[in-house]
Amino acid sequence: MRGRVVLVSGGTGALGQSICLAFLGTGATVCVPYVVPEEQTRLLGRVSPADAARIETVLCDVTDEAAVTAHVAQITAKHHRLDVLVNAVGGFAGGDLASTSLAEWNRMMTLNLTSAVVSCRAVLPEMTRARHGRIVNVASRAVVPPQGGFMAYTVSKAAVITLTQALAQEVRPHGITVNAVLPSTMDTPANRAAMPDADRSGWVTTDAVARVIAFLASDDASAISGAAVPV
């Protein structure tokens, strides 16, 4: 993917960092909006000197449509292209429907769904103009089939799958593919802290998920769109 430009929303998180490194390994230029400076520092600390010139980080709230639109405009003005969008922003909250406050419900929808919608809306004009693009959304294996007990998370991530499938139909005539990955429990510091006594033998690594995302963004996956791939 040398010469191509990738936008990784959520690129400073545990999964996001693996995604950024995977795309850097393919030769792509990687653009990363961030809101937590400490996470940005950790990401840049993992980038090799050989790849440092091909990663760009910008302070940007990906739930803010104006900020994301401006960021995308900056990318396209500089590089004259935007080939791939990965939506890896997300959050988790437990609770059944009765115990979930409306504020927590809205927070899950904003983090998991609205962030993806905002970024998709921002990149589609450039991808449509180029008649080429790859969008990969991160949903969750835990919501297929839908599960109770973490209702706001379940509904928001299930909505990401629906968004993926519907948008794939809308943009297919323009040479754009839209797919989703559905990771099972990932081996991240946050999950280890939340479940210290869990058997981690079946957990999936963030690097494994990142490799599937990179494949879906590649030319080899040009005939795949509307898929929800469990990892």
pLDDT at 92: 87
Q: What are the 10-residue block averages of pLDDT along the chain, 231 residues in total?
A: 96 95 97 96 95 97 97 97 96 91 96 97 98 97 91 96 98 98 87 83 92 97 97 95
pLDDT at 202: 86
Q: What is the CATH number of domain 5-230?
A: 3.40.50.720
Tokens of 185: 């429990």
Distance CA 197, CA 186 (A): 15
Whether residue 187 contacts residue 126, with contact meaning beta carbons closer than 8 Å, is answered with no
Pairing type for strands 84-87 and 55-59 reads unpaired
pLDDT at 188: 83
pLDDT at 64: 96
Instruction: Give 7-28 as a DSSP string.
Output: EEETTTSHHHHHHHHHHHHTT-
- Greatest Cα-to-Cα distance within the chain, rounded to the nearest angstrom: 52
Where residue 41 falls (left for φ over 0; alpha for ψ -120 to 50; beta otherwise) is alpha
pLDDT at 197: 83
pLDDT at 129: 97
3-state percent breakdown (helix, strand, coil) of the chain, nearest 5 = 50, 15, 30
pLDDT at 72: 98
